[in-house]
Structure 1
Amino acid sequence: MTCRAIERFEEHRDLLTGVAYRILGTVADAEDVVQEAWLRWSGTDTAVVENDRTYLIKVTTRLAVDRLRRLKARRESYVGEWLPEPVRTDPAGTVPDVAERVELTTSVELALLVVLETLSPLERAVFVLREAFGLPYAEIGEAIGRTEATTRQLSRRARKHVEERRPRFDVDRASRRRLTERFIGACADGDLDGLVAMLADDVTLVADGGGRAKAPLRVLTGAGKVARFLTAIATEASARRFIRSVGVTASEGHAVEFADVNGAPAAVVTAGGRPVSVFSLLVRDGLVRTVYLVVDPEKLVRLASPA
C-alpha cells in the first residue's frame, strides 16, 4: 500500500463516516464499517480504481447494509426504546464533517433518523444516498447490487414512507433554541405548570437508557405525565438538579450546555464534564411535540466538548 493510496482513502474518510452513520444510526458502528472499508481498500489494486469516491461509497454502503441487517435483530430485543446516537454538529463536534452542508445537517436530525429505523436496510441505504448525497440512481444501484429500475422503486417507496412519518417543524433555529432553554429552566426549577404550558396536550417523551441508565422503558404520552416525569428526574437524589446556564457547581459538577446536536438546538447535561443526558425537542405551533432523551452512557461518550 503506497502513501498515495493511503492519502486517497483518507480524503474520503469523513464522507464515508457520514454515509455509514446515516445508514446505521451510531458512530461506533459507522467507524467500524469505515475501518472494514479501509481493509478492503488496502487489499485492492487501487491503480485500476477509476473513481475513488464511487468505489469507496459502494464498498462502505454494502458493508453498512450487511451490518444493519445484523443490528436490526439485536435492536428488536433492546431494553426500552432505541434512539440513534447523538452527534454534535457545531464546531465542537467530534465527528468531522458528518453534516458540513445545510442539506446534510437536515439528514442527520434525530427525528429523521428515528423514521429511517422503520425502513428496510436497502430502502434506508437508497434514501441516504439519494436524498442526503444526491447520487444518481445508476450509481446507487451499483452500490447496493440492484438494477437502476429496482433502485428507483426502492427510492420512491422509502421517500413516501419518510414523508408520511417525518415530523414537520414550523419554527426557526433561534426560536427552537430559546424554547429549549426555557424548557430546561422549567425542569430545573421544578416548575410543573410552566412546563405543562410549553407542552402539546399529546406530547410524547422517548427515552433511551439502553438498560445502562435509568429511563422509561416505554414512550410517555400526555403533557401532565411528561411534565411530572421531567420535574421528578430534575430533583431526585441520583440526579440532584440541573443548572439553567453553563457552569459547574462545587458539590456536584453538573452543568447544562446548549449545543447543536444532529443539526438542531439541544441541551447536553454533564456531570464533572462527562455528558450524562441529551434533550432534543421537536416543536410545532410554538409547543413541544416530542422530547427525545438519550441517557445511555455508551451513546454519549463522543459528545464531550474539547477543553
Structure 2
Amino acid sequence: MSPMDATAEFEQHRRFLRGLAYRMLASVAEAEDAVQDCWLRWRDVAHDDIASPRAFLAQTVTRLCLDRLTSAQMRREQYVGVWLPEPWIDDPDTAQAGADEALAMAQNLEIAFLLVLQRLTPAERAVFLLNEVFDWDFDAIAQVLDKSPAACRQLASRAKRQLAQASASAVGQADTPIRQRRLSPTRDAAQATRIASAFARALQLGDVQALADTLAQDVVFMADGGGKVNSVPYPLQGADKVAKVLTGFARLWQQAVGLVQPAWINAMPGAVFHGPDGQVIQTLTLDISEEGLVSGVYVMRNPDKLQHVLAAVITARGDQAA
C-alpha cells in the first residue's frame, strides 16, 4: 500500500475513530489526540500485513483511550464542582456519510448517556460501545481488546446491568433498552427543535411558568465551571426550581453575552454563547425525553473545555452555507 493509499484508507475511518474515542473519553481534545496518535502508528506499520485496517485502527485507538482513561480518572477525582463531558458540536458532514455510519455516529452522544457511561470500567465501556453503538460482534471485539469472545460477552453483560440500573434510577424504566431511552436526533429532530424553540422563547421572556411547562418534573440542571469561572457547584432537580434558576441566569447572560448561536450539541438542540469579543463563553445543551419534555439542561462554562467550540461552529456554518 502506497503512502497515499494508506492516508486515504485512514481517512475513510476517521469519523468512526473520532466518535469511538470521544465516547470513550468524553473529551473532544483528548479524542483528537488519540486519533492523531493512531494515525502516526498507522503511518509507520507494514500495511500489507494487516488483514482488516478498520479492526487494526479500532484496536489502536481503543488501547490509546484505555491508557488515557487512567490519568483522566485521577484528574476527575480532583475536579472542582460538577463535571460534564466536553461539548460535541455535531458534524455537518454526518449527512454525507452512509446511512448506517450516520446513525451510529448520532447514537448515544447525549450528555445524560455519557454521564451514565462514566460508571463503567474502561474495558466495559469499550465493549459496550463497540457492540451496542457500532454493532461489532464479540469475535471482532475480542481481537480489539486482546480478550476471548466469552470474556467480552461477560464485560458487555456487566455493562448493560450497570447502565440499566443507572438509567432506571433516572427514568424509572429498568426494562427499556438503553439505546431506546433517549429521543433519537435522526428520527425526531423536528420535534426536538420545536421543544427547544419553546424553551428558548420562555427563557428570553423570563416567563418562569412557560419555561417550567417545557420541563420534565424531574429535570436536572448541571453546570460545569471547572473551578475556573462561576457556576452552580452541584446539580439541581425539579421543574419549578430549575425554571426559576434559569430565568435568573438568563438576565445575567443578557448583560454578558454578545451573540447566542443555535447549534446541535451532542445530538441535541442547544446554543453557543459568545462574549462581546466573539469568544465562546459557554454552551447550553438540552436533553429531550421521548415524552417531548426537557429532561436535562447542561451548561458548559469551563474555558478549558470550550477551546474547540468556536472552530467547530465556524466549520459547521461554513459547510452548511456552501
TM-score over 0.5 for the pair: yes
Q: Deviations over 1:259-284 (max 9, x none)?
A: 22221222222234433222222334
1:174 match: 190
- Is 2:286 the counterpart of 1:281? yes
Alpha-carbon distance, 1:139 to partner: 1.5
Instruction: Identify which of 264, 280, 293 aligns with 2:299.
Output: 293
C-alpha distance 197-18 of structure 1, shift in aligned 2 (>3 A): closer
Alpha-carbon distance, 1:286 to partner: 4.0
How many pairs does the alignment contain? 292
2:209 match: 193
Alpha-carbon RMSD: 2.6
- Is 2:89 the counterpart of 1:88? yes
- Is 2:131 the counterpart of 1:130? yes
Alpha-carbon distance, 1:8 to partner: 2.9
Query: What SS does the corresponding residue of 2:78 show, helix, strand or coil?
Result: coil
Percent identity over the alignment?
37
Alpha-carbon distance, 1:92 to partner: 7.6
Alpha-carbon distance, 1:64 to partner: 0.6
Query: What SS does the corresponding residue of 1:108 show, helix, strand or coil?
Result: coil
Contact 2:84-2:300 within 8 A present in 1 as well: yes
Instruction: Identify which of 239, 243, 254 aligns with 1:240.
Output: 254
C-alpha distance 46-170 of structure 1, shift in aligned 2 (>3 A): closer
Alpha-carbon distance, 1:221 to partner: 2.0
Counterpart-to-counterpart distance in 2, 1:169 and 1:32: 29
Contact 1:187-1:195 within 8 A present in 2 as well: yes
2:120 match: 119
- Is 2:196 the counterpart of 1:183? no
C-alpha distance 10-196 of structure 1, shift in aligned 2 (>3 A): closer
Counterpart-to-counterpart distance in 1, 2:129 and 2:108: 8
Contact 1:90-1:261 within 8 A present in 2 as well: no
Structure 1 unaligned spans of 5+: 242-251
Counterpart-to-counterpart distance in 1, 2:221 and 2:70: 27
Query: What SS does the corresponding residue of 1:279 show, helix, strand or coil?
Result: strand
Counterpart-to-counterpart distance in 2, 1:203 and 1:5: 48
Query: What SS does the corresponding residue of 1:216 show, helix, strand or coil?
Result: coil
Counterpart-to-counterpart distance in 2, 1:202 and 1:125: 30
Counterpart-to-counterpart distance in 1, 2:14 and 2:230: 35
Amino acid at match of 1:27: V
Amino acid at match of 2:302: D
Paired residues for 1:137-216 under 5 Å: 137-166=138-167, 168-169=181-182, 172-216=188-232
Amino acid at match of 1:80: G
Instruction: Identify which of 266, 271, 287 aligns with 2:270.
Output: 266
C-alpha distance 103-44 of structure 1, shift in aligned 2 (>3 A): closer
Contact 2:257-2:273 within 8 A present in 1 as well: no
TM-score (norm 1): 0.85
Contact 1:200-1:223 within 8 A present in 2 as well: yes
2:9 match: 8
State which drifts further: 164-173 or 223-232: 164-173
Counterpart-to-counterpart distance in 2, 1:45 and 1:258: 45
Q: Hey, which of these two has a bigger chunk of helix by percent?
A: 2
Counterpart-to-counterpart distance in 1, 2:214 and 2:32: 38
